[in-house]
Structure 1
Amino acid sequence: MSFSSIFRCLLCNIPKNESRGEKVPVSTEQYEIEGKNPGDSTDFQESIDSTSQFTSPDESNITTEENIAELPIQKSNRALIVAAKGAYSFADLPFPILSHEHEVVISNRATGLNPIDYKSVDYNFCLPEFPWITGREMAGVVEMVGAGVRDVKVGDHVWTSTYYRDRRAGCFQQYITVPAHTVLPLPPSTNFTSAASLGVAGLTAAMTLWHWLDVPFPPPSANPPPPANPEKQEQEQEQEFLLVWGGGTVTGQYALQLAAISHLRVIAITSSHTAPLARSLGAIVIERDNKSNTQIISEIKEIAGDNITRAIDLVGPKTASACLQVLSRERECRFAPLAMMGNEEVVARNVQVVTVEMKRFVLDEANRMYALELNRLVGEGRVQVPGIETVHGGLENVVLGLDRLKKGEMGGRKMVVVF
């Protein structure tokens, strides 16, 4: 059985000469990016926010020159493009053209940065052709809507999660064009900066739990679960657990909160630096500092016994292997290796390894319900957005923000570029 372990363009299964619309003029302002060996990353405790789950391309919703209507250019659209392998450049593009009546154009106010943004350029994957525009999540103001759009209107403050295979949807530009069903209003009490963290980390955690791991939506009430009955202590010991390896990451923080309000028992593996944060979000925490995976596995089993039935790995192949070792041997289990898993892993018959493909949010309108539920929980204050580290200056400083993100040590904070 093959899992998501292919890294470069094989991950996207895209021929490099594939056309995706208008040609983009390339300026001479370039930022060279030092390449790295993808294999090196498996030795570090990195986040799912670092790897791509946009596999098995679906051609049905790809924008082509044939289905774009010709409309007059209204405004210039400044963009940071991947001009060639390992190089960024700036370009002034035409204002976006809608390809159908159910699209929305959003004026960028804040864009969330994710390791996938620099890794796709460093390692040359998920780039259908050159030049291209990357960036997967943003928040802003609705600039234009198609004739068939009903849920949003011009002037609304919104956020969205995008699909890398449409250059118009790349978030490193002033105007982003996306399907209307992927556009959500900013939850109450949030602003552009905080909402820019919802499109990748928040939505990935939500869909992983609710869609792929079959965790039910949390109850509408924020009331805590009833206190444990001492007479049912034995039954309590048999309660199922969710394991989140990488609980201090931005995606992990969302996952811990969503699991906790669904009254799941959660074990989080974190660094000592993010351990207090994970505990505050409702998890039983095991600190990984200066420990082997064998030691961590032993601690997990001491806490949960044979009762871990769901697991999320946000780190890499080595920790994915460790997760498989602690899953229940008797119960039906589901495992989401969000940060890649080796092909050689032996998976027990009672374990279903799920493939999380976040492109499904864009390609299947029915998945809007997960974003709406996430919006509701954030708006009610039951789910908090992570701490934000901002980079001001918009497109001109995206590369600076990516460089800071690449250095690591974010301590569970989300990097957002403010326009």
Structure 2
Amino acid sequence: MRAVVYTQPGDPSVLDLVEREPAEPGPGDVRVRLVRAGVNPTDWKFRAGGMGALAFPEIVPGQDGAGVVDAVGAGVDDVSPGDRVWVMLAQHTRPGGTAQEQVVVPRQNVAALPDNASYDLGASLGVPAVTAHRALTTSEDLGARLSPGSMAGATVLVAGGAGAVGNAAIQLARWAGASVISTVSSDEKAVLARAAGAQHTVNYRDGDTAAAVRELAPQGVDLVVEVAPAQNLALDLAVIRPRATIAIYANNGGDEVTLGVRETFSTNARFQWVLLYTVGADALRAAAEDVTAAVADGALAVGDERGVPLHHYPLEQTTEAHAAVESGAVGKVLLDVSED
């Protein structure tokens, strides 16, 4: 089979397309013949060495994908060859990610791909949708699961609604019945956030952002999905209601934040740090179930009409795909691994 590998950290040029024998599924494993694979910022950060030393001598990048089960290991009796699935966290604890034609992952890292969902959508879930789910389900008052109506009456502020996680957070929050405000940096990105379902957008480069959010949510927002805490924490504290949650999943714009104890004390706020790789098995299982249900309902999708432009690269152009994500491509970068 064809696989893309790297053996040392570096820029996209360290990626090589090679031939490898497919791995056999062990007990509790599932092997998937991939049709599409997603490329996320975390993939190039691992490849560049930004997450520490390489964990294996040779690594196939990629956490997300979608395809068809072609073999299962001992003890797996609820997934069968021929099943359509989406894959998450393929490269979390193993050297073999989704930039290859067949990938072996633990059973809990695959979920059924509903019949109404394309492989493009399946490969676009994983990191963005599961991160968004976690960010939306850590509130004291809003519950640990998402379903239609589970967030009814709540107002969610999504920072950077044109990004992949922001887009998924908007779609999932709207499916759960929340009202959504999104901050954006341009009119073009406002169009994308509104396509995802945000009822309101605020350009943070134009005027008083806190005042604009407060005008839309006079009592304050219930939850913030935050991508840039170093830049936005003062804004978040100014627009939340008491006991709100600020869920932080990235460090765009800076690595440090400063908290004023007294002003923060008065908010009774919960700060939830979200790193997908250590959220725990229960949170991953809940996310897989809820995200799959949203997909089946038609509430979570990709493409221009949902604010997620798709960019396709053949597997042999994984280098170019990584470079596109690293340079900030808007939308979702996908690898065409094999025929549908």
TM-score class, shorter-chain normalisation, is 0.7 to 0.9
Query: 2:102 maps to which residue?
Result: 175
Alpha-carbon distance in 2 for matches of 1:213, 1:82: 42
Residue aligned with 2:32, SS:
strand
Alpha-carbon distance in 2 for matches of 1:182, 1:165: 10
1:76-108 deviation digits (Å, cap 9, x = unpaired):
x43222221212233433321434x21111112
Alpha-carbon distance in 2 for matches of 1:83, 1:276: 41
Q: Which amino acid aligns with 1:407?
A: S
Q: 2:269 aligns with which of 335, 341, 351?
A: 351
Q: 2:45 aligns with which of 116, 119, 127?
A: 119
Q: 1:390 aligns with which of 288, 291, 311?
A: 311
Alpha-carbon distance in 2 for matches of 1:366, 1:267: 25
Q: Which amino acid aligns with 2:232?
A: T
Alpha-carbon distance in 1 for matches of 2:283, 2:156: 26
Q: Which runs of 5+ in 1 are unaligned?
A: 1-76, 226-238
TM-aligned CA deviation for residue 188 of structure 1 = 2.5
Change in Cα spacing, 1:175 to 1:204, as seen in structure 2 (3 Å) is same
Q: Displaced runs of 4+ in structure 1, greater than 6 A?
A: none
Q: Which amino acid aligns with 2:231?
A: K
Matched, 1:79 2:3: yes
Matches within 5 A, 1:325-336: 325-328=238-241, 331-336=242-247
TM-aligned CA deviation for residue 202 of structure 1 = 1.5
Residue aligned with 1:124, SS:
coil
Change in Cα spacing, 1:169 to 1:353, as seen in structure 2 (3 Å) is farther
Q: Which amino acid aligns with 1:400?
A: E
Change in Cα spacing, 1:153 to 1:401, as seen in structure 2 (3 Å) is same
Q: Which amino acid aligns with 1:160?
A: V
TM-aligned CA deviation for residue 142 of structure 1 = 1.0
Query: 1:153 maps to which residue?
Result: 80
Alpha-carbon distance in 1 for matches of 2:16, 2:192: 38
Query: 1:286 maps to which residue?
Result: 202
Q: Which amino acid aligns with 1:372?
A: E
Residue aligned with 2:274, SS:
coil
Q: Which amino acid aligns with 2:167?
A: Q
Query: 1:407 maps to which residue?
Result: 327
Query: 2:175 maps to which residue?
Result: 261
TM-aligned CA deviation for residue 209 of structure 1 = 0.9
Matches within 5 A, 1:5-404: 77-86=1-10, 87-99=14-26, 101-126=27-52, 127-162=54-89, 164-211=91-138, 215-216=142-143, 217-220=145-148, 240-270=154-184, 271-280=186-195, 281-288=197-204, 290-291=205-206, 295-315=208-228, 317-328=230-241, 331-340=242-251, 342-346=256-260, 348-349=264-265, 350-360=268-278, 364=281, 367-386=284-303, 387-394=308-315, 396-404=316-324
Q: Which amino acid aligns with 2:290?
A: E
Residue aligned with 1:252, SS:
helix
1:268-311 deviation digits (Å, cap 9, x = unpaired):
101310213323404311123x437xx22232233323422311
Residue aligned with 1:354, SS:
strand
Contact persistence 1:104–1:178 (CA under 8 A): yes
Alpha-carbon distance in 2 for matches of 1:296, 1:416: 34
Residue aligned with 1:166, SS:
coil
Residue aligned with 2:250, SS:
coil
Alpha-carbon distance in 1 for matches of 2:43, 2:128: 13
Alpha-carbon distance in 1 for matches of 2:313, 2:29: 28
TM-aligned CA deviation for residue 388 of structure 1 = 4.3
TM-aligned CA deviation for residue 369 of structure 1 = 2.9
Alpha-carbon distance in 2 for matches of 1:403, 1:213: 39
Change in Cα spacing, 1:89 to 1:336, as seen in structure 2 (3 Å) is same
Q: Which amino acid aligns with 1:262?
A: A
Q: Which amino acid aligns with 1:267?
A: I
Change in Cα spacing, 1:221 to 1:167, as seen in structure 2 (3 Å) is closer
Q: Which amino acid aligns with 1:284?
A: H
Query: 1:8 maps to which residue?
Result: none
Alpha-carbon distance in 2 for matches of 1:145, 1:378: 25
Q: Which has the larger radius of gyration?
A: 1
Alpha-carbon distance in 2 for matches of 1:90, 1:250: 27
Alpha-carbon distance in 2 for matches of 1:213, 1:163: 31
Change in Cα spacing, 1:277 to 1:85, as seen in structure 2 (3 Å) is closer
Change in Cα spacing, 1:214 to 1:248, as seen in structure 2 (3 Å) is farther
Q: Which has the larger displacement, 208-217 or 348-357?
A: 208-217
TM-score (norm 2): 0.83
Alpha-carbon distance in 2 for matches of 1:318, 1:334: 17
